[in-house]
Chains A and B, each alone.
Chain A
Amino acid sequence: MKRAGFATKWLPITLLLPQLIIIAVFFYWPAAHAIHSSLYLQDPFGFGSTFVGAENYSDLAGNSEYRRIAWFTVVFTILVTFFSLAIALLLAVKADKVIRGARSYRTLLMWVYAVAPPVAGFIGLIMFNQSWGPLTRFFQSLGWDFKLGVNYMDTATAMVIVSVWKQIPVNFIFFLSGLQSIPRSVREAALIDNRSASGRFWDVTFPLLAPTAFFLLIINITYSLFETFGVIDTLVKGEPGNNPMTLVYKVYVDGFRGNDMGGSSAQSVVLMVLVLALTVFQFRLVERRIHYT
């Protein structure tokens, strides 16, 4: 491969400088600030503060409720990521085969993408309303006494359903365009070699979709961890009580509702480390197995 070169090293640095400044000011400075404030317990108004070292972190480690929330976050992320990818892939494969009415079918599926998370949460509130929600009625007809906001597992189920529903369209769009970029000739060759449809899909189509799937995997994990905030906030009506919540929501509850700046900062730092670890893991281990063509 041919490398482009610069005559002096100052020109590229100058050209990069605006970008570096933006990164430093908007990303590293707040991150450093979070780390700094996680070492203190401070009065919300900023009048007094006490240096407590790692106490905010050791409090988190010793807090069984925090561990429960962390555990829920892991399960929630796996479920939301898996179901939104799996269902979207299924829909995309089917949509790829549709010839008549394909455009309206795709448009209808993509449509939900425009719904903002709090609106999705609000729709969830209506669907799962305790006394007249259609989905509550449906579950009751199956003998499941579904109670949003009262029962921990039921609320968790509603959170997963609404979050998955909200995320399917974006995955669908990517999967569909991925599928449509697979060359016809490859598929025809596969058709000759392999008569089973599922065999063709897993041996030929899916590996060719892998770069898209890998990209979506990262996007979906990030979505489940962070962007579901709006859905969760709406479903628990801002009063978590005994309902499940994710780590990000806990940062909000302690920092913005409870005005506990130090504790909330420590939690943000934990999240930063988590994201860093996740990114390193994904790109080191998973991406090696993916072949871009």
Chain B
Amino acid sequence: MTRLTIASVAATSLLAGAAFAETEITWWHAMGGALGETVNEVANKFNASQDEYKITPVFKGTYEETLTAGIAAFRAGEQPNVLQVFDAGAATVIGAKGATIAVQDLLEQNGADFSIDDYISGVRYFYADSDGKMIGMPFNSSSPVMYYNVDALEKAGVTPPQTWEEFQSTTAPALKDAGYVALSQSHLPWIFTENFHSRHDLPFATGDNGYEGGDTKILVNNDAIKAHFTAVTDWQDNGYFEWFGTGWGDNQTPFEEGKVAIWLGSSGSFGGLSKLDLPFEFSATYLPYWEAVTTEPKQTFIGGAALFAMAGKDDAENKATAAFFDFMASPETQVFWHKDTGYVPITEAAYEMAKADGYYEEQPAAEIGIKQLSLPAGEHTKGYRMGFYVQIRDVMNREYGRILTGETSVDDAFNNIEAEANKLLERFAKTQG
């Protein structure tokens, strides 16, 4: 053991000596726990793949904390080369012209091949600007999917519902009779609001869902979503649905405990759920839709986070960052990341590679997220771009909590969300000076 350690220390220092001229870059991320270890492994693979560059990943806390740390560092001129920014922070970082270098520009300037069409269609534009230029490279991309307890559904004698009508009339009553809470779901703003709009191809904000910038107004106060939330409260009254709190895990835990039969979560939860060794078999399928709203359900878009190249670095470091992005987008890296975590592979090539490996024959549920992202696109399915969106989500979470605890009516809640969100959007427009 000791000899081995000495040998490896010697080997490491030899390597360090040999790679004296390498360019060092840093990467701030928000991936804790098991995900953080996978991040370190990805960084090690990059460092081992060549000897010109060295990347150091640094864990900075939650998504919000990482973004705030990145902003503070940028203002002090100490920013990292690569910053991970989550979906709700996209408008903040993309709106600040000069804070980042567009990934597309960075790759093209440094001689890497880049074509946005190589990326899966639900992934392509979420972190792009209004001209369709990719600003941030999607990294841990996920989409909401429906997980279900196979044993519970068999016991109740039902199949996973495709529509909410089916859930309401058939699946939920049968599951209730079989002794389960039929449904719980994490992150109401993400699944039951943002992706609800894309699944039904409904506009979510003016100005092309906010991508055009400037004077954006949210369009969340519409009949389709109000009918949905009214149905959710009915399900709750009938014992088909239970809400366990705002935190992500609050609603995932009862599914893991076998109390809840169907859980709406993230395709990125797949890796974690598989590693848990649950006492029942689980699988996943598409997010249901309302047949009353559309008979042609559309794709959803990605959540999760993207990697941004921070501005203000010298050419050598930018070259290293470009090499890192190129490495990240490679099919091999994507497939490794996809299999280990459950996040979707971001390019068509990586998806093909995972398919060719026969991965989805073993794990069909792992393919659902990417299949759903590849469904036909609609006019309003590529996502949204709104400033102060973290606060807008906080307003939604608050009002949804009030609906589900009976403190407010669906109509009042959506009037409030619309009014407060528009106020925040108006304020954000002013920050752009």
Contact = CB atoms under 8 A, between A and B. Distances in A.
Interface of A: 41-50, 52, 59, 65, 130-131, 147-152, 236-243, 253-254, 256-260, 262-263
Contact of B71 (A44, A48, A151, A263): A44
B75 A240 contact: no
B336 interface: no
Given A131-B254, A240-B246, A52 B430 contact: yes
Most chain A CB inside 10 Å of its own CB: which residue of B75, B404, B420, B431: B431
A250 to B, nearest CB: 10
A149 B433 contact: no
A242 B390 contact: no
A240 B395 CA distance: 10
Contacts of A41: 427, 430-431
A147 B244 CA distance: 8
A149 B92 contact: no
B15 interface: no
B96 interface: yes
A46 to B, nearest CB: 5
A242 B89 CA distance: 21
At the interface, is chain B mostly helix, strand, loop or mixed? helix
5 nearest A-B residue pairs (beta carbon): A242-B401, A48-B433, A241-B246, A149-B245, A45-B96
Contacts of B92: 44-45, 259
Contact of B405 (A150, A236, A256, A259): A150
B75 A46 contact: yes
A114 to B, nearest CB: 25
Contacts of B430: 41, 50, 52
Interface in B44-78: 62, 64-65, 67-68, 71, 74-75
Interface residues of B, number: 49
Most chain A CB inside 10 Å of its own CB: which residue of B65, B253, B430: B430
Contacts of B402: 242
B432 interface: yes
A43 B431 contact: yes
Most chain A CB inside 10 Å of its own CB: which residue of B97, B245, B257, B423: B245
Interface of B: 62, 64-65, 67-68, 71, 74-75, 89, 92-93, 95-99, 243-250, 253-254, 257, 259, 388, 390-391, 394, 397-402, 404-405, 407, 420, 423-424, 427, 430-433
Contact of B95 (A43, A59, A152, A256): A43
B254 A257 contact: no
Given A65-B398, A258-B388, A263 B247 contact: no
At the interface, is chain A mostly helix, strand, loop or mixed? loop
A259 B68 CA distance: 7
B397 A43 contact: no
A127 to B, nearest CB: 16
Contacts of B433: 42-43, 47-50
Contacts of A243: 246, 401
A49 B75 CA distance: 14
B74 A149 contact: no
B71 A130 contact: no
Contacts of B424: 260
Given A43-B95, A45-B75, A257 B64 contact: yes
A128 to B, nearest CB: 11
Contacts of A148: 245
Contacts of A262: 427, 431
B79 to A, nearest CB: 10
Contacts of B423: 59
Contact of B96 (A43, A239, A241, A242): A43
Nearest to B187: A239
A263 B430 CA distance: 12
B254 A242 contact: no
Contacts of B68: 256-257, 259
A62 to B, nearest CB: 9
B98 A258 contact: no
Contact of B388 (A52, A130, A152, A260): A260
Nearest to B423: A59
Contact of A44 (B96, B244, B394, B420): B96
A240 B64 contact: no
B245 A241 contact: yes
14 contacts: A41-B427, A45-B99, A47-B98, A149-B245, A150-B243, A151-B405, A152-B401, A152-B405, A241-B401, A242-B402, A242-B405, A243-B246, A254-B391, A257-B64
B388 A259 contact: yes
A50 B244 contact: no
Contacts of A46: 74-75
Most chain B CB inside 10 Å of its own CB: which residue of A150, A241, A260: A241
Given A47-B96, A52-B430, A259-B92, A130 B245 contact: yes
Contacts of A259: 67-68, 71, 89, 92, 388, 390
Contacts of B432: 43, 48
A48 to B, nearest CB: 3
Contacts of A65: 398, 420
B265 to A, nearest CB: 15
A133 to B, nearest CB: 13
A120 to B, nearest CB: 18
A94 B206 CA distance: 66
A242 B180 CA distance: 26
A47 B97 contact: yes
Contacts of A43: 95-96, 431-433
Contacts of A258: 388, 390-391, 394
Contacts of A240: 246, 394, 397-398
Contacts of B404: 150
Nearest to B432: A48
A86 B407 CA distance: 33
A131 to B, nearest CB: 7
Most chain A CB inside 10 Å of its own CB: which residue of B65, B89, B247: B247
